[in-house]
Structure 1
Amino acid sequence: MIVMPTTYSPMTVARAFKQVEEFELSGRLLHVIYDPQTPRAAIIEADIETFEGVPRHRVVAALDLQRKPTLGKDIVAVERCWEDANIIQVEGICVDPAERDKGLATRLYEALILHCGITLVSDFDQYEGGKMLWQKIARESDQIAVFVLDTEQGAFWPYDGSKVIYDGGCIPEERIWSISPDQKCHGVVLVAENRQRANQMMEGSSGYRI
């Protein structure tokens, strides 16, 4: 499980990260930062504070990411489903408890997808918090399109050659999530991409449904 760094030094931010977005929340200026090499992403406070005599940026949300040539042993490579896509799998996300219910996780996903051209893919193992986040994004974000992909079939729901946008409730939940020890949906992942790009790519295709 992800362990969120509490702070980053200005030197680390300057050396390892690029600033993706800047926004205000509750009178504070926040930066979305992304390290494409690790990869990892975070939302930090723009202002520098002193922690035990050392200048640092406070981290309010952090995201662990992973590039994988395939999504598991003997499972279809997810790259086959897109062309020229920067596909990264989410391994874990953590938001400071004091900052929860402010939409920071959704903001972090949207910033990476919209400003970095990334297609985010969920982890195979979904905890309750991750499940709720994906449902929230699918239900509320007008910037991101979420699809359900069965990596073992190499096909999107409903697996008949068409592609349906998941809105947080239009696909039977038992076809997406496995409850341990049941593993029947272990090969199913959620895919989040730029909604405008998805619409353009699928425009005129009879296989695209909302």
Structure 2
Amino acid sequence: MPVLIRGDSQMIVLERSYSTATLARRFEIIDEIHFNNVDMLVIYDEKIPFIAIAEAQTRTDNRGEKRHHVVATLELARRKNDDEILEIRQFWEDQQTFQIEGVVVNPEMRDYRLATLLYETLVVKKNLTLMSDNDHYAGGRALWKRLAQDSTGLVVFVLDTEKGQFYPYDGTKMRYDGISIPESAIWSHHPDKVHWPVVLIAQNSERLSTLSVR
């Protein structure tokens, strides 16, 4: 599933909420934030895996039940152990690697960069390695570029899964900062599939502090 944020043609309206009991039973609260004069909880279900931002204050629904309304979600897919991409073990050895399945943000909350916050929280606070999918939609391209340019807690690399190498494909790897690697070397534009094997990788910058990064 592609990343769905403002500007995409495949927009989804998010309608989801959880009872207080479900939230307590199913989720780990990994952060508490405040924006737009509302207290929010960043909640994580490791089993699925799934991360979301929900209102800390409950609302009463039409059945009289108090529920926490969700304003943003991000779904992940765990990489299989036999996937060829895991052959590059020195990059994420002893880490969990997940591919982005989809991220959805309520329309009224899209000016608060909640999608960026969800990515950063998973990488920095849960120490996960995140991988883009192969569908290069406009919203996803903009989000990954913003992560590469603005996020201080993570670093982004470009990986060709067919070659099994990071850009510039000479045995080294170059950090992508939004401008360091040409756009033409990363993205494919429909119906072109020349860069279909290319994905972006986000990892905790502290874990890479001892590595040599160009």
From 63, 66, 91, the equivalent of 2:77 is: 66
Contiguous gaps of at least 5 residues in structure 1:
none
Runs of 5+ in structure 2 lacking a partner?
Answer: 5-11
Contact 1:138 1:168 in 2 (8 A): yes
Q: Do 1:71 and 1:151's aligned partners in 2 also have CA atoms closer than 8 Å?
A: no
RMSD, aligned α-carbons: 1.8
| Cα distance change, pair 78–105 in 1 and its aligned pair in 2 (3 A) | farther
Displacement over 6 Å in runs of 4+: none
Residues 24 and 30, structure 1, Cα contact 8 Å, conserved in 2: yes
Aligned residue number for residue 172 of structure 1: 182
1:34 to 26, 41, 44: 44
* Cα separation, 2, equivalents of 1:89 and 1:144: 16
Structure ranking higher on relative contact order (CA contacts 8 Å, 6+ apart)? 2
- Answer yes or no: is the 8 Å Cα contact 1:77–1:151 preserved in 2: no
Check whether the contact 1:70–1:78 (CA below 8 A) recurs between aligned residues. no
TM-score, normalised with respect to structure 1: 0.89
Q: Deviations over 1:59-99 (max 9, x none)?
A: 11100110021697xx4336634211111110110111100
Between the two proteins, what is the percent identity of the paired residues? 45
What secondary structure is seen at the aligned counterpart in 2 of 1:178? coil
| Structure 1 CA distance for aligned equivalents of residues 82 and 132 of structure 2 | 10
Contact 2:186–2:195 (8 Å) recurs in 1: yes
**Does 2:67 align with 1:56?**
yes
How many aligned residue pairs are there? 202
The residue number in structure 1 matching 2:20 is 10
Q: How far apart, in 1, do the equivalents of 2:203 and 2:154 lie?
A: 6
Match of 2:7 in 1: none
- Summarize deviations over 1:22-66 as a string: whole Å, max 9, x none: 111122111111111111110111111112122111111100110
Matching residue of 1:190:
200
Aligned AA for 1:147?
Answer: F
Q: TM-score, normalised by structure 2?
A: 0.88
